[in-house]
Structure 1
Amino acid sequence: MKKIVNVIRSLKGELTREGVLKNSFFVSFSKGISSVTNLAFMIYSVNLLSKTENGKLQYFLGFLPVVLAIAEFGLPNALIKYISPLVDKKEDPGALLNASLRIKFYSFMILAALSILAFAFTNENYFVIAILLFGGVIVSFLSYFESLFVSYRKYKALSLWNPLPNLLRLGVLIYFAETSIHPLSYLDILTIFCISPLFVLFLFFFFFQGEELSFSAPKEAIQDSQKKLMMFNLWAFAASIFAILSDRLEIFFLNQFHPPEIVADYGTALQLFSGFVIILSTFNSIIYPKLSRLADSEEFPNFLKKSVALGGLIAFLLLPGIFLAEPILTLLFGAKYSNSISVFKILYPNFLLQLVFAPLGTALFALGQPKMLAGLALLRLALGAVFDFWIIPDWGANGAAISLFLGQVVSWLILVGYFLAYFRK
């Protein structure tokens, strides 16, 4: 008991130092608003659509993170890793920023080429392909700008910026739902979700003073930065793609073996965990810059241990939420999505454990080990595919939730083993 009290006191001291606790509050509060509005968007959408239409919406939304990963090309993590130390030393990151914009242009060209191939060789609607292409690019700039806020430790500005895209999405959805002559289809809602954040991108420059951002640098410095980012990003991109594919694999398998109504059961339960995604994002926003600054210091292991302990504490505090599955789903959707209750209960422990193990994955980025993360994500993808093919045909949406959990266990164990060996050095 005394040891637990000492850990909590140590965590409190770490959080209080450098204003981490205050910054966490601002970012957590704003991301909480963002999460609530995103959830409200999804609840409103689900209630507007039939179960079949909702199944189609969840299926196509499953492609958006894949498109987003290509559009980002691992830049957010790389920028935080390389710019945070420069900002600390008051050095100009102009070469890195210029190089990052060039890489974003290359990623857009790759996406455009892939979209043309998808249109030529698949039966997918060309409008859906175009919406996913531009939606992924737009959302990628949201994460790009967020990485700059984090790199410069502008957490108050970030807390004002965070809720805007989801607030706009919800406002546009309500406006069209109330004023449209015809009922909104899943294509209408997909378009609103993907495209509406475009109208808040320019507001970034109101939160960031112009003189703080410099995109100019000597040509040689830009080329060197581009090579450095590309080498880091190549593995970070691979890790991101494999991780996102493994997270969304269940929806693709469900769509192959079951009707859209089953996809809707799983996808609707999954959407309720957007709050966990916000918590994870906030967590990384706070600990990643410091892990990057401490990567070569003796303080790194202690800070990482405290981060894991903090993740465990948050997971413990959220544990009672599993008992809210039935009343929440019944309140939001009535009996229409009663099958989602068991899916929610299976998914809940998985997301709690993600909070515990997230700092270990973030630490690999800080140590410049995206190659290992890519390998772990590929392993998770391969195991997930095996479990999906084995479980989903017979178990449907519940099987998808079980498979998502089982596919991650091995990678978590390897992460723990790696850092136990790392700390013994």
Structure 2
Amino acid sequence: MGIVLKQSLNNTVVTYFGFALGAINTLFLYTHFMHPDTYGLVQVVLSISAVLMPLLAFGVPNSLVKFYSSFTEGREQEGFLTMMLLLPLVLILPVGLISYFANEAIGAFLSRENPIVRDYIWHIFFTGMAMAYFEIFYAWSRIRMKSVFGNLMKELFCRVGQTILLTLLWLDVIDVPFFINALVGFYIVRTLIMKIYAYRVHMPKLIFQLPKNWKDIVKYSGLIILGGSTAIVLMEVDKVMLNNYLPIENVAYYGVAGFIAITIAVPSRAMHQITYPMTAEYINKGDKGALSNLYKKSSLTLFIIAGLLFLLIVLNLNDLFQLLPQGYSGGFLIVFWIGLTKVYDALLGNNNSILYNSDYYRSILFFGVLLALMAIGFNLWLIPAYGLNGAAIASFSAFFIYNSLKLYYVKTKFNMVPFTKGTFKVFCLLAAMGLVFYYVQFPFHPIVNIVLKSALMVAIYSTVLYKFRISEDIYNVMRKFIRR
């Protein structure tokens, strides 16, 4: 777990720096420099692109991680890597042709409620394609245990670009169409830079020789499309569907509240970048003991961090909303439900990695497709009835069912659960702190209130964790920090 924690901490620093910049963009620059309907358009373009991304990637990022360590002979390995580079074109080319010939029909479908979306179909396609190949080149470097630069590009590059573009928009140097065109350009340039780095890590030798197990690889990649699509659909479908039911500025309001909540997922994203290839290695070696240990430790570590972040966000939310324009300040329930979803995700540790790298991935992927359809059904039911809050409840409901199914499946097939006595102790600590600090209010400026309450909560939480050694990994990190 040492290498996991070390690289995870490095990635967490980068990711949180990216989220801090994203918070500035989302909570202040977008909300003050751009009209809500235009910001809603940006959210729709990026959300639909994200839904399209796993389809265009053809499951290659996951296949790279799963199969790479199984090839030991150089020529066969290079043939596998060549296949991974070309496989996405199997879907990118036909999807591009469909976008060209059915442009009007697609535009009409996406712009039923908000006609402004009609002119941005190609922006969605090129952004989705750039996202897909970025993930491929990122996985290319991760299989060599090089994750920090890719994480830097993923979390910072486009956010820095948005900061620059928003500033230029505020200064009236550029207009909205130029902003969106340039934003797409940043995603494409990010992919090209990631490609250069990945090739520096390992320059491919194009060998057009299919590996012996190419059918298994293609089958796995095809099924991973369903898995990747499921995860993305569950995360992005609410914003896509809000575009079809409510005026587009509501997508902006929902996006801001959602961004506040998904900050909880940052540690999970950072840790999974290194636990994913380690999980694949343990499964390929049949080391069930190491796998179970990683499962429990990743779950406890992430639950400790995600639980604290959930409390910090929810208990400071009223002060935070005072800093935003009026239209953005009504999202308490959105933050609560989406935040709760992210805590449950963290509680599962490296559950996804276990499933996607095992022989049981087929069943769980098909269950995932059914649950993605369920998420769509929940949104169809709850958005017309409850508006923005309905979308958040729909997302929580779908993720709760999906995560519970994955938890049960790992228990059934591997006889492993991520929970320990430490999990129960952390839950009790979080519940007690939530009850106490719900009634703690300061009468100062909102920023001062947030800083004071957060500092007090972190101090008490850290002291309890350290004194009772609930997590050995967290305890060791804190001990080294105290000694320094």
TM range (shorter): 0.7 to 0.9
Aligned to 2:444: none
Rounded Cα–Cα distance in structure 2 between residues aligned with 1:392 and 1:126: 22
2:300, 2:347 within 8 Å by CA — same for their partners in 1? Answer: yes
Q: 2:315 aligns with which of 310, 318, 323?
A: 323
2:158, 2:190 within 8 Å by CA — same for their partners in 1? Answer: no
Q: In structure 2, do the counterparts of structure 1 residues 108 and 257 end up closer, same or farther at CA, with 3 Å as the change threshold?
A: closer
Rounded Cα–Cα distance in structure 1 between residues aligned with 2:225 and 2:199: 30
Q: In structure 2, do the counterparts of structure 1 residues 144 and 20 end up closer, same or farther at CA, with 3 Å as the change threshold?
A: same
Q: In structure 2, do the counterparts of structure 1 residues 193 and 48 end up closer, same or farther at CA, with 3 Å as the change threshold?
A: same
**RMSD (CA atoms):** 2.8
1:63, 1:132 within 8 Å by CA — same for their partners in 2? Answer: yes
Amino acid at match of 1:203: I
Rounded Cα–Cα distance in structure 2 between residues aligned with 1:273 and 1:304: 24
Amino acid at match of 2:13: F
Rounded Cα–Cα distance in structure 2 between residues aligned with 1:226 and 1:34: 38
Aligned to 1:152: 144
Q: Would you say 1:67 and 2:67 are equivalent positions?
A: no
Rounded Cα–Cα distance in structure 2 between residues aligned with 1:388 and 1:350: 16
Q: In structure 2, do the counterparts of structure 1 residues 358 and 121 end up closer, same or farther at CA, with 3 Å as the change threshold?
A: farther
Q: Which one has the bigger helix percentage?
A: 1
Amino acid at match of 1:152: R
1:337-364 per-residue CA deviation (whole Å, 9 max, x = no partner) reads 1122332123211111111225222210
Aligned to 2:424: none
Following TM superposition, by how much is the alpha carbon of 1:91 offset from its aligned partner in structure 2, in angstroms? 8.7
Give the stretch that moved more between structures: 91-100 or 228-237: 91-100
Q: 1:260 aligns with which of 245, 248, 273?
A: 248
2:49, 2:124 within 8 Å by CA — same for their partners in 1? Answer: yes
Aligned to 1:6: none
1:238-292 per-residue CA deviation (whole Å, 9 max, x = no partner) reads 1222332233232243333322233332122123345345433222112111110
Aligned to 1:215: 205
Rounded Cα–Cα distance in structure 2 between residues aligned with 1:262 and 1:205: 36
Q: TM-score, normalised by structure 2?
A: 0.75
Rounded Cα–Cα distance in structure 2 between residues aligned with 1:241 and 1:75: 13
Aligned to 2:94: 110
1:368-421 per-residue CA deviation (whole Å, 9 max, x = no partner) reads 433223223222223223322222212110111111101122222222222222
Q: 1:389 aligns with which of 380, 387, 396?
A: 380
Q: Would you say 1:26 and 2:10 are equivalent positions?
A: yes
Q: In structure 2, do the counterparts of structure 1 residues 46 and 195 end up closer, same or farther at CA, with 3 Å as the change threshold?
A: farther
Amino acid at match of 2:385: D
Q: In structure 2, do the counterparts of structure 1 residues 209 and 97 end up closer, same or farther at CA, with 3 Å as the change threshold?
A: closer
Q: Would you say 1:405 and 2:396 are equivalent positions?
A: yes
Aligned to 1:78: 63
Following TM superposition, by how much is the alpha carbon of 1:127 offset from its aligned partner in structure 2, in angstroms? 4.4
Amino acid at match of 1:403: A
SS at match of 1:93: helix
SS at match of 2:348: helix
Aligned to 2:260: 272
1:134, 1:195 within 8 Å by CA — same for their partners in 2? Answer: no
Q: Would you say 1:313 and 2:304 are equivalent positions?
A: yes
Q: Which runs of 5+ in 1 are unaligned?
A: 1-14
Q: TM-score, normalised by structure 1?
A: 0.85
1:97, 1:214 within 8 Å by CA — same for their partners in 2? Answer: yes
Rounded Cα–Cα distance in structure 2 between residues aligned with 1:37 and 1:196: 16
Rounded Cα–Cα distance in structure 2 between residues aligned with 1:50 and 1:69: 30
Amino acid at match of 1:129: I
Rounded Cα–Cα distance in structure 1 between residues aligned with 2:201 and 2:274: 24
Structure 2 matches for 1:230-249, cutoff 5 A?
230-249=218-237
Aligned to 2:437: none
Amino acid at match of 2:234: S
Structure 2 matches for 1:327-406, cutoff 5 A?
327-331=319-323, 333-357=324-348, 359-406=350-397
Amino acid at match of 1:47: H
1:57, 1:190 within 8 Å by CA — same for their partners in 2? Answer: yes
Aligned to 2:405: 414
Amino acid at match of 1:136: G
1:34, 1:166 within 8 Å by CA — same for their partners in 2? Answer: no
Q: In structure 2, do the counterparts of structure 1 residues 402 and 274 end up closer, same or farther at CA, with 3 Å as the change threshold?
A: closer
Rounded Cα–Cα distance in structure 1 between residues aligned with 2:63 and 2:342: 25
Give the stretch that moved more between structures: 143-152 or 104-113: 104-113
Following TM superposition, by how much is the alpha carbon of 1:159 offset from its aligned partner in structure 2, in angstroms? 5.2
1:311-346 per-residue CA deviation (whole Å, 9 max, x = no partner) reads 322222323222122222332x23231122332123
Rounded Cα–Cα distance in structure 1 between residues aligned with 2:103 and 2:38: 22
Amino acid at match of 2:56: A
2:141, 2:147 within 8 Å by CA — same for their partners in 1? Answer: yes
Q: How many residues align?
A: 403
Structure 2 matches for 1:161-180, cutoff 5 A?
161-174=153-166, 176-180=168-172
Amino acid at match of 1:192: A
Amino acid at match of 1:190: I
Following TM superposition, by how much is the alpha carbon of 1:115 offset from its aligned partner in structure 2, in angstroms? 1.2
2:137, 2:195 within 8 Å by CA — same for their partners in 1? Answer: no
Structure 2 matches for 1:179-198, cutoff 5 A?
179-181=171-173, 184-185=175-176, 187-198=177-188
Q: 2:277 aligns with which of 289, 294, 301?
A: 289
Q: Would you say 1:58 and 2:48 are equivalent positions?
A: no
Rounded Cα–Cα distance in structure 2 between residues aligned with 1:48 and 1:209: 39
